[in-house]
Amino acid sequence: MLWEGVVETLSAFLADPNLIYLVIVFGLWAGVTAAYIPGTGIVEVIAVVLLGGSLLMMAGLPVSWWAALLIIAGVLGFLMVPFLNQKWARIAPLGLIAQAVGGLLLFPNFAVSWILIGLTISMGFAYHQYALVPLLKRSRDQKAVIDDNGNLLGASGRVMKTFDPVGQRFSGPVNVRGETWTATSEKPLDRGDDVVVVERDGLSVLVEGVKHKQTPATEEA
């Protein structure tokens, strides 16, 4: 009897419309987060577990599946549109409206709390503004740096002033692609020497001198 009571209580808990709505929304948030910070694996697993669990929870209940799709479209529309194209960011808030409508009409015989819906919409907005957007900006900045590094490596330059000894290396200004960089080298370099960039660290570069073949002068007969 005790076990049956526990099962009934657990079944009633899992069939709570408010809980199901939360599991759907949190699962979608996790899925979106995985798109913003790919490759972790953990967030993807959480998204799959939550969304799969929500489907199991709704399996024996009367559900307006079009409303469930509206929730999915609303959450993904609001959180993913800025990620895909900044030009569409202005229409992203329409996703919040779709999420609210879908949440209110998710179950024909039950009503998800409008307070809960309002709370998740507010949390979703804050999550987007203060978590996802900074993540996206950081990721794009890192990609820009990586691309910039890739373009700069192997670039040719010229020493602007004879390098001074600094510790076990030598340092001085070089001109690379029309810009002045602080450079270091493992060997001394003189003004006018040609160099090539082999590494970049922030606003400084590691260079190596380019040796030119000297053509021996022909001896006069």
Provide the residue-wise pLDDT of the chain in tens; the chain has 221 residues.
556 655 566 676 778 899 999 999 999 999 888 887 776 688 889 999 999 999 999 988 899 999 999 999 999 888 887 677 767 777 888 889 999 999 999 998 888 999 999 999 999 989 888 888 787 777 665 555 545 555 777 888 999 999 999 888 999 999 988 788 899 999 999 999 999 988 887 778 899 998 753 444 444 44
User: What pLDDT is recorded for position 55?
Assistant: 92
Cβ–Cβ < 8 Å for 108, 62: yes
Q: Which two tokens stand for residue 84?
A: 């895909």
Q: Tell me if the pTM is above 0.75.
A: no
Q: Which two tokens stand for residue 73?
A: 């479209």
Domain residue spans of the chain: 2-149, 156-209
Distance CA 181, CA 109 (A): 69
Cβ–Cβ < 8 Å for 21, 116: yes
* 156-209 to CATH, choices 2.40.50.100, 1.20.59.20, 3.40.50.300, 2.40.50.140: 2.40.50.140
Task: Output Rg (C-alpha) for the chain, integer angstroms.
Answer: 30
Distance CA 62, CA 57 (A): 11
Residue indicated by tokens 């099962």: 7
For residue 100, how many C-alpha atoms fall within 13 Å in the half-sphere facing its CB?
14
Residue indicated by tokens 């270091």: 184
